[in-house]
Structure 1
């Protein structure tokens, strides 16, 4: 497995090489909750520019809260079964096959201020060569996750020191409305179980990413 211990500029240079050749390429960024996947994906997209890269995140396929309530999954929100993994895999395939001259495809996004997915929020033009997708479960071998993985040209696994990852995750929960105690409990409970599951398949990634200044 390749180790990419690079600055953001260095990682952007690696990603930019994927965007050459005239065909749509898809970079997957995996890792546990709080590792910095979303931040890295958005930073790479910004560095490469809107004509080169666009981010479509797995989190846009969170099941709606009312569906989670109906299924009895609300307390496990964020676990693999609380996503529409089949829909995510189908969208990735559609985006991979989006050819020259074809219309814009609209992808969903997850709004943390609402704690809900919002449909048709991310426009993807056919002439943008690099799609960046990020999420916890890109490497899982169950359900429809392997179908999603099959659409990705390469997957990076973001590695972060554990105490820092948990601190960031707890701070994020608190920033979006949880009490400090509830934020810490969620990070140590449901999130930690998901993190351990994700880490079990880290070796399936093509590269481990360690972001350095």
Structure 2
């Protein structure tokens, strides 16, 4: 059954043409009234479109050429605070999805299973103004990350890192090889979603 949504102007930002067309078709199928749908393939183009005219709803991918999807979200938040934002992405990196979730967008969906999930998300954001719609795969990824717990040896590495020790010093302190420390760090990065040592330390300090 088609729904009567509160939005009439939609911008779809996806650098994959087929994906953007697919989303446009799904929107038309779900809405009971005509929608003005504009499309962009880059973050820069989205900002240009918003400069010309704001939009009720932005559906944006994360992996964009040029300005990233996350940067687009931050800029649109400043340009048009009332615009609802749904992230539709093929990305499954926990740290990226967590970043997006922390931006308090209206919905986060993986591209697989888009049809059903997009319809649910559109209905959800009609009545939930302070919550984020998450499809089941995103929920699972975020849950797995939040439950990721370092081993005692990994905790030891994190503690020494937080005290400013280098990898060489940590290896000597823990009486193991430098390659072992690098392995520990790689595991910690995977569990924490951190991209560098500073983010690993920040993650460690928040847990303690």
Q: TM-score, length-normalised on structure 1?
A: 0.28
Larger relative contact order (CA 8 Å, sep ≥ 6) = 1
Name which one, 1 or 2, has greater alpha-carbon Rg: 2
Q: TM-score, length-normalised on structure 2?
A: 0.28
Structure with the largest fraction of strand: 1
